[in-house]
């Protein structure tokens, strides 16, 4: 059922040009910009560029237990059959495990790490909950890429996320380098919404999580944004952190190296921005992709 | 007809481990290492790493005429139908044009550029001729990658190149950056020959030039070499030059950026290393891939 006005129209049959976003990138009012934990300078950088990178935000020691647990999952045959687990196209390798914080108490606690959570709450100026969590494996030689996209474009059209008041934290689990398909971002792209062409089929996620074709911005808009601000691919050791806004365009290339690239993603959404019916008119996607059940504000824990 | 002894057995039905190469990387005798144009240090670097990079070897002014000519070819419908022209898999875009020095007098002269040719002759310690020339286009968003391979592995098995005494010069035609699928090389990999598994079908080149599956080294050998010496991807503006040995493992990733990446390749072979019957037992590949007709030693020209 189409609503009278969709502020972020997308998945249309005809092309519609990009336009400036309606919502703030940083939701904190200016008089509280310096309240921390991020400095006013860091907040302004996030506002301007749509992401922040922290080399070794967590120490290697802090990460070791998480990395070991993920390795165990790689060999878990039950998990491969689980509905939140996405395999590489035509392959036996795991591409993504969704709902990692539902599977593991350890990862659940990590979503509430006080330092991390306070940064998220500062930027969104709100209590938050987990909209989605996942681990993206990208095995050496075999890991496929992710095409350019705005997460918000999908979350709005397929999950009914009303406004831009969410962000992703990507925690590096294995060294991210130039050759193993690191996350690439287009600085400044969060400032625009790019409507995408093409109606969304029911159960689109079964294809889109393996290879995204719908929800990919047109070449002209991508070219304009890349020519303006180039592309960046933050690199760092396990424990490094990339925080990126829900509308920042990003993607990643094939992993042609022998070095696996695993990144953990926690998506935080403001409790004032909970999901409605999907704007594309389809039925809602499964819970493991878009949480509609547990929207209690997260409470910080020390030393998860 | 199989010969009694093939020094570089490959395209086999069973796996055979990698072994040290038999031929020198640098053919110049040590007493003439300093005769130039390359310094003894540069020659030793080529010997050790299997490639050399020269930022802006040619100036932008020198390159302009060549770049313009290549742009014209992109829109040349006759050329798209020509047998030396390879299109992207299932696409209309040109992937490669072979025999560029046969098509264009300007590029033919460039193969004989005195500075370039004297470097090649120094490293191979011999007069040389063009075994193959090509331009690889890699259009923005659509340009596909090239899987890891040793050129010599193909040239030996499919073209009958007897020994390792050839090299490639790749001249950068559009800025090569981190995101448009630059050439990646594995330093030190030229020291080993890696037999590949799989019989070569007749006319294999019709597939392999679009997407290489045969002639790709096994993951264990690649991992060993990458773990030893990592991967490098030289980057630079038009006119930059990469010289790499015929057995140096290389590949390149998909171009996910908006910026096209075009590189010119001239393959020089020693006049003492001319082609025999293909070692895989198939009929020879077409002339545009493997020159058997014109093996006159190249003579240097100034200011091509």
B142 vs B258: CA distance, rounded Å: 9
Q: Nearest-CA distance from A115 to chain B in Å?
A: 33
Beta strands in A121-240 (DSSP E): 128-136, 146-149, 166-172, 183-185, 192-193
The predicted model gives B60-82 an average pLDDT of: 88
Look at residues A57, A89, A130, A107 and name the one whose alpha carbon lies nearest to residue A297.
A130
User: Is the CB of residue B226 less than 8 Å away from at least one CB of chain A?
Assistant: yes
Write down the mean pLDDT value for chain A.
93
Q: Tokens 């990079």 map to which residue?
A: B53
- Topology of the domain comprising B20-25+42-270: Jelly Rolls (2.60.120)
- Of A77-91, A103-117, A267-281, B263-277, where does mean pLDDT reach its minimum? A77-91
Q: Nearest-CA distance from A103 to chain B in Å?
A: 32
Q: Nearest-CA distance from A43 to chain B in Å?
A: 27
Q: Does position A224 have pLDDT exceeding 80, yes or no?
A: yes
Taking residue B20's Cβ as centre, other Cβ atoms within 10 Å add up to 7
Q: Which residue has the higher pLDDT, A125 or B209?
A: A125
**Paired strand residues for A79:** none
The predicted model gives A237-254 an average pLDDT of: 97
CB within 8 Å: B259 and A226: yes
Q: Does position B1 have pLDDT exceeding 80, yes or no?
A: no
Instruction: Give the per-residue pLDDT at A88.
Output: 78
User: Is the CB of residue A234 less than 8 Å away from at least one CB of chain B?
Assistant: no
- Of A232-236, B45-49, B80-84, B286-290, where does mean pLDDT reach its minimum? B80-84
The predicted model gives B41-70 an average pLDDT of: 95
B107 vs B104: CA distance, rounded Å: 5
List chain B residues with CB under 8 Å of A233.
178-179
**Paired strand residues for B270:** B128
CA A92 to chain centre: 24
The predicted model gives B254-266 an average pLDDT of: 96
Choose the mutation target among B211, B258, B260 for the interface with A, i.e. most A CBs under 10 Å: B258
Instruction: Give the per-residue pLDDT at B216.
Output: 93
Nearest residue, CB atoms, A178 vs list B147, B178, B254: B178
- Of A159-163, A164-168, A186-190, B74-78, where does mean pLDDT reach its minimum? B74-78
Nearest residue, CB atoms, B253 vs list A140, A231, A256: A256
The predicted model gives B23-32 an average pLDDT of: 93
User: Is the CB of residue B249 less than 8 Å away from at least one CB of chain A?
Assistant: no
List chain B residues with CB under 8 Å of A257.
226, 231
- Of A178-192, B75-89, B193-207, B210-224, where does mean pLDDT reach its minimum? B75-89
Instruction: Give the per-residue pLDDT at A36.
Output: 86
Q: Is B198 left (phi over 0), alpha (psi -120 to 50) or beta?
A: left
Peptide bond into B171 cis (omega under 30): no
Residue A1: pLDDT band (50, 70, 90) is very low
Look at residues A284, A92, A146, A98 and name the one whose alpha carbon lies nearest to residue A204.
A284
Q: Tokens 């590189």 map to which residue?
A: B263
Nearest residue, CB atoms, B233 vs list A178, A223, A251: A178
List chain A residues with CB under 8 Å of B231.
178-179, 257
CB within 8 Å: B141 and A251: no
User: Is the CB of residue A188 less than 8 Å away from at least one CB of chain B?
Assistant: no
Q: Does position B210 have pLDDT exceeding 80, yes or no?
A: no
Instruction: Give the per-residue pLDDT at A91.
Output: 65
Q: Nearest-CA distance from A152 to chain B in Å?
A: 21
Whether B229 and B50 have beta carbons less than 8 Å apart is answered as no
The predicted model gives A217-239 an average pLDDT of: 97
Q: Does position B2 have pLDDT exceeding 60, yes or no?
A: no
- Of A181-185, A238-242, B135-139, where does mean pLDDT reach its minimum? B135-139
Choose the mutation target among B225, B257, B260 for the interface with A, i.e. most A CBs under 10 Å: B257
Which residue is closest to B250 within chain A, CA to CA?
Answer: A256
The predicted model gives B254-273 an average pLDDT of: 97
Residue boundaries of the structural domains of chain A: 37-270
Nearest residue, CB atoms, B184 vs list A179, A227, A251: A179
**Paired strand residues for B263:** B136, B172
Q: What H or E segment, with its residue span, contains residue A160?
A: none
List chain B residues with CB under 8 Å of A227.
258
B272 vs A286: CA distance, rounded Å: 66
Give the tens place of pLDDT for each residue, B146-156: 999 999 999 99
Residue B165: pLDDT band (50, 70, 90) is very high
A270 vs A24: CA distance, rounded Å: 13
How far from each other are the two terminal CA atoms of chain A, in whole angstroms? 43
Residue A46: pLDDT band (50, 70, 90) is very high
Which residue is closest to A223 within chain B, CA to CA?
Answer: B258
Residue B3: pLDDT band (50, 70, 90) is low
A64, A84, A102, A113, A175 from A106: Cα distances, Å: 12, 18, 10, 11, 21
Q: Does position B91 have pLDDT exceeding 70, yes or no?
A: no
Contacts of A237 (CB under 8 A, 6+ apart): A55, A56, A60, A172, A175
B225 vs A81: CA distance, rounded Å: 35
Q: Tokens 């932008």 map to which residue?
A: B60
Whether B215 and B279 have beta carbons less than 8 Å apart is answered as no
Q: Which residue has the higher pLDDT, A101 or B91?
A: A101
CB within 8 Å: B178 and A233: yes
The predicted model gives A274-298 an average pLDDT of: 96
The predicted model gives A48-64 an average pLDDT of: 96
CB within 8 Å: B222 and A258: yes
Which residue is closest to B142 within chain A, CA to CA?
Answer: A219
CB within 8 Å: B184 and A256: yes
**CATH architecture under which domain A37-270 falls:** Sandwich (2.60)
Q: Which residue has the higher pLDDT, A304 or B133?
A: B133
B252 vs B144: CA distance, rounded Å: 9
- The listed range with the strongest mean pLDDT (A94-108, B91-105, B208-222) is A94-108
Q: Tokens 């962000």 map to which residue?
A: A167
The predicted model gives A176-188 an average pLDDT of: 98
The tokens for A75 are 């060999």
Choose the mutation target among A149, A252, A258, A260 for the interface with B, i.e. most B CBs under 10 Å: A258
CA angle B1, B22, B53 (to 5 degrees): 110
Q: Nearest-CA distance from B231 to chain A in Å?
A: 8
The tokens for B261 are 């990446």
Q: What are phi and psi of B187, to 5 degrees?
A: -60, 140
User: Is the CB of residue B256 less than 8 Å away from at least one CB of chain A?
Assistant: yes
Q: Does position B80 have pLDDT exceeding 90, yes or no?
A: no
């Amino acid at each position: 059922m189409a609503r009278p006005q969709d502020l972020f129209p997308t998945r249309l049959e005809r092309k519609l040009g990009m336009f400036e976003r309606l919502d703030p990138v940083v939701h904190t009012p200016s008089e509280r910009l310096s309240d921390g934990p991020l400095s006013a300078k860091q907040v302004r950088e996030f506002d301007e560029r749509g992401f922040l990178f922290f080399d070794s935000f967590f120490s290697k020691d802090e990460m070791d237990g998480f990395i070991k647990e993920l390795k165990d999952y790689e060999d878990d045959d039950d998990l491969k059959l689980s509905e939140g687990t996405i395999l590489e196209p035509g392959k036996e390798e795991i591409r993504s495990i969704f709902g990692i914080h539902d599977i593991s108490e350890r990862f659940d606690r990590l979503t509430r790490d006080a330092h991390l959570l306070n940064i998220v709450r500062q930027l969104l100026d709100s209590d938050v909950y987990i909209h989605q969590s996942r681990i993206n494996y990208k095995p050496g030689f075999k890991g496929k890429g992710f095409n350019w996209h705005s997460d918000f474009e999908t979350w709005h059209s397929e999950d009914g996320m009303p406004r831009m008041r969410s962000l992703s934290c990507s925690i590096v689990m294995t060294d991210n380098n130039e050759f193993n398909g690191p996350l690439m971002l287009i600085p400044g792209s969060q400032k625009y919404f790019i409507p995408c062409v093409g109606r969304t089929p029911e159960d689109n996620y079964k294809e889109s999580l393996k290879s995204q074709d719908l929800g990919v911005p047109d070449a002209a808009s991508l070219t304009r944004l890349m020519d303006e601000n180039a592309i960046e691919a933050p690199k760092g050791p396990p424990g490094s952190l990339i925080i990126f806004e829900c509308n920042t365009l990003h993607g990643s290339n094939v992993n042609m190296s022998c070095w696996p690239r695993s990144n953990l993603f926690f998506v935080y959404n403001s409790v004032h921005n909970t999901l409605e019916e999907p704007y594309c008119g389809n039925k809602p996607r499964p819970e493991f992709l878009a949480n509609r059940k547990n929207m209690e504000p997260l409470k910080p824990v020390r030393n998860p």
